[in-house]
Structure 1
Amino acid sequence: MTRSGSARTAVLWTAFLLVHAVVAVAGWILPSQPMGDVVLVYEPWATSALSGGPIVGVTETWVYPQLALVPMLAAKILSLPLIGGLGASGAYLIAWALMITVLDALAFGVLTRRSSAQPRRIAAWFWCAALLFLGPIALYRIDAVTVPLAVIAGLWLTRRPVIAAALLTAGAWIKIWPGALLVAAIVAGRARVRMLFAAALVTAGVVAVLFLLGARAEIFGFLTEQTGRGLQIEAVAATPFLWLAMTGGARIEYSFDILTFQIVAPGADAVGSVLTPLMLLVALAVAAIGAVKAVRRAAFSRLFPPLALSLVVALIAVNKVGSPQFQTWLFAPVILWLVLDRTRAKVPAAIVLALAALTCLVYPLNYDALLRAEFLPILMLSVRNILLLVLLIVGIRALVRVPSTPPAVKE
């Protein structure tokens, strides 16, 4: 490595550590408890499992896939030496932030190991900026565990497709969205049979362990749990109802079953009920476009990035849940697009940075005002949601425009 390359790498790592420190500390001082889920939900689940109580996903149906409990347990174990001076909650928060930072550092190391590769440096700077713009929600949610897994897997897709597929499958058993990257990789890649086998093997292993632990109907309970959700206030489809809430035509109410704020209004339940099948249809249509391009021998570096991003955006934009941490899902496909084809990734990267900043402005900075249905946060959230639809259009447009590779001419 040259001296200039070492200096660039040192600057990148300094920025990485500073951003993580700033975001971690911001969680303690910003309003609306941006790290509330970690101590109010994750820590009690982990404590219950370790102390002989109910085990979410095993003895009772859970909203998350079961491997999500693993990092929660890991953070609890890491927090034990810190409890004496910080208390259980403080220790768990610090352990969680350190755990996510270490996971991100592993992925960041894989990303920046070729310090002379400009696309990788640009992708690394994008990741730092996206984390900073999105704020504490990028760190203090279970989704943060899946981002580094997806980045590493994406970077390994061409050289280590089996390991990459296994990582993406494990990520999907933590939070479903990495499965979209797996689908894109299987459609666009050449090692699709091996990737399918790896995914099936990991899934079979997880299901077998859960069965041995006593889970039965709970194994796929995270799928059925979603059906009972109403229309969450941050969802794209909830935008018109938020404007109605300003005039009293809709209400924002808290669901103690799902632990989130939802829309109560005529037509809201009907809209929520059609979103899940519509989301599946959009995802299938996007995958079909990608499959046609793959059959026509499109290059992986051109096909995979827009296909992966479009699938992930579809899971966010056409969803009755619109949690702010969903924006972290966009980081990995954009990072990979910048690495593989940075010229065409500039517009999606800029949109994702804007989405991150707007999301932070709404949550946690103006969330209380949003719950009161005030004009400014509704306007900011509306712009954010429109940008999500724009990003979906940009991704699909780039996917449609992926060129086919003509077959070799035999002489």
Structure 2
Amino acid sequence: MTTHRIGPPPPPFDLPPVPGITLPGTGRSRTRPQRAAALAAAWAATRVGMLGLLLVDRVGDSGVAGEVHTLYRRWYEQLVQGAFPLDDVTWQYPPGAAVVFLAPGALPWLTYFQAFVALTLAADAVITLALARAGLPGAWLWVCGLPLLLHLPYARYDVQVTAVAVLALLAVHRRPHLAGTLAGLGAMIKVWPMLTLLGTPPGRTTRSAWPAAATTVAALLGALLLGFTHTLEFLRQQGARGVQIESLGGTVLQIARATGWPGSVRYQYGAFEFVGPYVPSMTKLSLMLSVAALCWLLLWRVRALRWTPATPYDAAFAATLLFTVTSRVISPQYMVWLLGLAAVCLTTRHTTQRPVALLMLPAAAVSALVYPVLYDDVLGGTRLGLLLMVVRNGLLLAAALLSCRRLWAATAAR
């Protein structure tokens, strides 16, 4: 007697079981939409919360949103006149940043603040979609990690810059020319996205990406020099920066202040910085450490022999971590960059940076406590404020050292 099988036909090839989920047919084709829906729901819920915090934030010269309401809008009004800010100590960004500050003008039916936040939210969505297509673990890190910074990411322009860097990294393997173009654009906006090209595999990928980046930088800089006045004014202001209280060097000076060092904190160049004995020496030390970091990265590039699909991601993450911890400024919004790059690393199972990427979550959470939640303690140098800075910068320093160690061990010659 012939028996007939009742139910859906077996899949054409073996699929791994999905724990906790029993579905007819192929588990993969039906569970992926569910996972994508869960990611979309998490993104929507967390972003509503972030926007809610932004709405109740104090409006005007104070509060997290104050920079957009006053500083960014003032720059916008100057840029639409065809001139970069002149003799403005707060203008310290490459000229490509003008593209971001002028962009809200494309939404004239909204106020400048509303348009800026809308474009930032759109950039956040682009990052999430790109990461979801590349690998859901990375998308989840981004979706869950960004809200740890509360509403700060939507009141700064770092999400837009991170979107350019993330897209550049994800394009490295299949479209290196596009990756180079995006990296060049990002470098003209905030310099660090050029690090996305550090780990491009030797050969055709590097020969396509690096010239494309250089061409983009030259073309955009030329256009801005022709279209605006005072295009390079930012160099003078950037060179005058001191040691910000939130930097690694600032943490050293905070500890020294707690033990009797006579220095103090002053608001200058758009940030709270230390003034007093040994501050110039700390500034020079930070610059020397940044140069040392660059030398190590160049040595790694020369000695690297083993390349995996994750190497460009891992190298960009390690390089950005190094330049972050050696910087004279480690503002809380820098965590937006690190979360984005960490998320890209987690899109591939070949990454060496998984434990380092996970360290970004507690570092982001502590950064939110540093600013804006307990910033008065940080400014006052209280025990709580000092503890927060030691923990946050300690996490970043440990992450940078671990990242470099794992990158070298996985790729470089012994």
**Partners of 1:47 and 1:30 in 2: CA distance:** 24
**Counterpart selection for 2:237 from 214, 222, 225:** 225
Q: Which residue, out of 219, 229, 251, partners 1:239?
A: 251
When normalised by structure 1's length, the TM-score is 0.86
Q: Give SS of 1:301's match.
A: coil
Instruction: Kindly indicate whether residue 209 of structure 2 is the aligned counterpart of residue 195 of structure 1.
Output: yes
SS at match of 2:198: helix
2:53 pairs with 26, 29, 48, which one? 26
Q: CA deviation at 1:3?
A: 3.2
Post-superposition offset of 1:47: 1.9
Q: Is the 8 A contact 1:241 1:265 kept in 2?
A: no
Partner of 1:400: 408
Corresponding position of 2:293? 282
Contact 1:133 1:357 in 2 (8 A): yes
For residues 123-150 of structure 1, the C-alpha deviation after alignment (integer angstroms, 9 at most, x for no partner) is 1110011101122222221212111111
Asked whether the equivalents of residues 301 and 341 of structure 1 are also in contact (C-alpha less than 8 Å), the reply is no
Cα 1:225–1:76 change in 2 (3 A) is: same
Pick from 95, 100, 105: which aligns with 2:115?
A: 95
- Opposite residue 159 of structure 1, the aligned amino acid is R
How far has the Cα of 1:205 moved from its partner? 0.9
Cα distance change on mapping 1:310 and 1:193 into 2, 3 Å: same
* Alignment pair present for 1:63 and 2:92: yes
What are the ranges of 5 or more consecutive residues in structure 1 without an aligned counterpart? 83-90, 115-119, 406-411
Instruction: Work out which of the residue numbers 329, 352, 355 in structure 1 matches 2:337.
Output: 329
State the secondary structure of the residue aligned to 2:353.
helix
Contact 2:195 2:316 in 1 (8 A): yes
Contact 1:188 1:304 (8 Å CA) reproduced: no
Aligned to 2:33: 6
| Deviation digits for residues 364-411 of structure 1 (CA, Å, limit 9, x no counterpart) | 000022112111021011111111110111111111111469xxxxxx
> Which residue of structure 1 lines up, in the alignment, with residue 141 of structure 2?
126
Secondary structure in 2 aligned to 1:253? Answer: strand
Give the secondary-structure state (helix, strand or coil) at the position aligned to 1:344: coil
Cα distance in 1 for residues equivalent to 2:366 and 2:203: 34
Higher helix content, 1 or 2: 1
Q: 1:404 to 1:278 in 2, by over 3 A?
A: closer
C-alpha separation in 2, matches of 1:58 and 1:202:
28
Instruction: Confirm or deny: 8 A CA contact 1:251 1:264 kept in the other structure.
Output: yes
Residue 304 (structure 1) shift: 2.3
More deviation, 238-247/125-134:
238-247
Matched AA of 1:38: V
Correspondence 1:157 to 2:172: yes
Q: Which residue identity lines up with residue 212 of structure 2 in the other structure?
A: A
Find the aligned partners of 1:390 and 1:135 in 2 and give their Cα distance.
24
Aligned match of 1:44 in 74, 91, 98?
A: 74
Cα pair distance change 1:375/1:61, threshold 3 Å: closer
Instruction: State the match for 1:117 in structure 2.
Output: none
1:376 aligns with 2:384: yes
Give me the identity figure in percent: 27
- Structure 2 counterparts to residues 236-385 of structure 1, below 5 A: 236-246=248-258, 249=261, 250-255=263-268, 258-293=269-304, 296=305, 298-341=306-349, 344-385=352-393
Shift of 1:270: 1.2
Q: Which deviates more, 4-13 or 120-129?
A: 4-13
Relative distance call for 1:396 and 1:189 in structure 2 (3 A) is farther
Identify unmatched segments of 5+ residues in structure 2.
1-27
CA distance in 2, matches of 1:59, 1:134: 28
Q: Say if 1:189 and 1:300, in contact at 8 Å, map to a contact too.
A: no
Q: How far did 1:194 drift?
A: 1.1
- Between the aligned partners of 2:202 and 2:40, the Cα distance in structure 1 is 32
CA distance in 1, matches of 2:250, 2:88: 34
Q: Answer yes or no: is the 8 Å Cα contact 1:112–1:124 preserved in 2.
A: yes
Residues 299/342 of structure 1: CA separation in 2 closer, same or farther (3 Å cut): closer
Q: Structure 1, residues 279-331: CA drift from partner, whole Å, max 9, x if none? A: 022122123213311xx2x1232432332112101111001112111111112
CA distance in 1: counterparts of 2:97 and 2:137, whole angstroms: 30
**Structure 1 CA distance, aligned partners of 2:203 and 2:183?**
14
Match of 1:85 in 2: none
Whole-angstrom CA distance in 2 between matches of 1:62 and 1:233? 19
Deviations 1:79-112 (A, max 9, x none): x323xxxxxxxx3332222111112212322222
Q: How many residue pairs align between the two structures?
A: 382
Alignment partner of 1:182 is 2:190: no
Could you tell me how far apart the structure 1 residues matched to 2:30 and 2:154 are?
Answer: 33
Residue 408 (structure 1) aligns with: none
Ranked by relative contact order (alpha carbons within 8 Å, sequence separation 6 or more), the top structure is 1
The alignment status of 1:387 with 2:395, answered yes or no, reads yes
What amino acid does structure 1 have at the position aligned with 2:157?
A: I
Distance in 2 (alpha carbons) for counterparts of 1:246 and 1:325: 26
Q: For 2:119 and 2:297, how far apart are their aligned partners in 1?
A: 35
Structure 1 window deviating more from structure 2 (8-17 vs 53-62): it is: 53-62
Larger radius of gyration: 2
* Partner Cα separation in structure 2 for residue 59 and residue 310 of structure 1: 33
